[in-house]
Amino acid sequence: MSQSRVRIAIVGGSGYTGGELIRLLLFHPLVEITQVASESRAGHFVHSAHPNLRKISTLRFCHPDDLTSCDVLFLCLPHGASQQAIERYRALAPHIIDLSGDFRLRSPELYRQWYGHAHSVPELLPQAIYGLPELHRAELREASLVSGTGCMATASILGLSPLYRAGVVDYGTPVVVEAKVGSSATGAKAGPASHHPDRSGVVRSYEPTGHRHSAELIQELGLFDESRDASRNDSATRQRVAFSATAVELVRGILVTAHVFLRERLDERALWRIYREAYQHEPFIRLVKERNGVYRYPEPKILAGSNYCDVGFELDVEQQRVVVISALDNLMKGAAGNGVQDLNCIFGWDETLGLTFPGLHPA
């Protein structure tokens, strides 16, 4: 391989997000994967955990203690693990992209509120860039520490942010967000809720209130709230967020349905203008709102394996309520794919590099 390629290492490469990251980066034209670390599978071939990569890669997992220096280090670790060892990881690479929840919130107070304990390195929280290119593209170009984004938060924020940016939301009424998510969002480690007889066929409300991804909505939608205190790191918005999460029988995929009330009367043409102005130049956002057909609104099934987020809406004229619908693959735009897009932003590359797979239909 050319020595000019960016050297990438991955920690926690045996999980679902790590597997997707390996799959994507193996076909990225400007990078080379130098190491993939896993405590439990050190010494084994990568395809022992990710059988789809048979004959695609001869990489073997190394132990995390055997990591050497690289240009970019991806962290695909369970929540809480990255922050405990972040200084060691930062010594290995000038750029860290952490796909866990450890650095998503800029405020230590907001972190304590939503995660239930103090952050190990609170001084780093304001330095980490929330890795959603559609909102933070310019900041990513100078980033040394990038945080991945919550999968349900990503779908919600991308669906809602154009309305907040346009200043048309009524802050006096909570925004109500219902997120339906597939089983891969819980990770590769099995548990009682993922046991097949218990998981198969479910439409299970598992966190009707208090989900941690609510904090990301509060933070990121707060960026558009002109009344917020700009001197604070938390960017907290006046908007109250009523977020619920439901498990459904999908392996991949998220469908968010959000209800937003408007501060002024708008017609559908005005809403189209808001969304087109926000997303007309975004490579991975598609507006989906058709008059006829099965797929006239966003549908996660056709997004599996792709980095697209499909966004649609419907206006309730009588109540001046906008029903925002957004869908994505939780392992792609909700995790690994978004991380690769962040990588492309950091180096000033075309954001679509390594991410052009369109999904399958039928699937």
Residue 280 backbone zone (phi > 0: left; psi -120 to 50: alpha; other: beta): alpha
Q: In what helix (H) or strand (E) does residue 320 lie, and over which residues does it extend? A: none
Q: In what helix (H) or strand (E) does residue 340 lie, and over which residues does it extend? A: helix 336-346
- Per-residue pLDDT tens, the chain, 363 aa: give them: 344 899 999 999 999 999 999 999 999 999 999 999 999 999 999 999 999 999 999 999 999 999 999 999 999 999 999 999 999 999 999 999 999 999 999 999 999 999 999 999 999 999 999 999 999 999 999 999 999 999 999 999 999 999 999 999 999 999 999 999 999 999 988 888 888 899 999 999 999 999 999 999 999 999 998 766 555 555 556 789 999 999 999 999 999 999 999 999 999 999 999 999 999 999 999 999 999 999 999 999 999 999 999 999 999 999 999 999 999 999 999 999 999 999 999 999 999 999 999 999 998
Q: Counting Cβ atoms within 10 Å, is residue 81 exposed (0-12), middle (13-18) or buried (19+)? A: middle
In this predicted structure, what is the pLDDT of residue 131?
A: 98
Specify the domain boundaries for CATH 3.30.360.10 within the chain.
152-328
Contact status, residue 75 vs residue 11, Cβ threshold 8 Å: yes
Which tokens in the block code for residue 83? 């922050």
pTM listed for this prediction: 0.95
Q: In what helix (H) or strand (E) does residue 241 lie, and over which residues does it extend? A: strand 241-248
Specify the domain boundaries for CATH 3.40.50.720 within the chain.
6-148+335-346
Instruction: Return the SS3 of 349.
Output: coil
Q: Which residues pair with 2 in a beta bridge?
A: none
Backbone angles phi, psi at 242, to 5 degrees: -110, 100
User: For residues 78 and 36, what is the distance between their CA atoms, to the nearest angstrom?
Assistant: 16
Contact status, residue 47 vs residue 20, Cβ threshold 8 Å: no
- Select which of 62, 70, 76, 151 is catalytic: 151
User: For residues 12 and 17, what is the distance between their CA atoms, to the nearest angstrom?
Assistant: 9
Q: Is 151 a catalytic residue?
A: yes
Contact status, residue 152 vs residue 336, Cβ threshold 8 Å: no
Architecture of the domain spanning 6-148+335-346: 3-Layer(aba) Sandwich (3.40)
The torsion defined by the Cα of 287, 293, 298 and 304, in degrees rounded to 10, comes to -110
Architecture of the domain spanning 152-328: 2-Layer Sandwich (3.30)
Which tokens in the block code for residue 172? 């006096």
In this predicted structure, what is the pLDDT of residue 79?
A: 92
In this predicted structure, what is the pLDDT of residue 2?
A: 42
In this predicted structure, what is the pLDDT of residue 1?
A: 37
Contact status, residue 182 vs residue 256, Cβ threshold 8 Å: no
In this predicted structure, what is the pLDDT of residue 193?
A: 87
In this predicted structure, what is the pLDDT of residue 226?
A: 72
Which tokens in the block code for residue 161? 């942010």
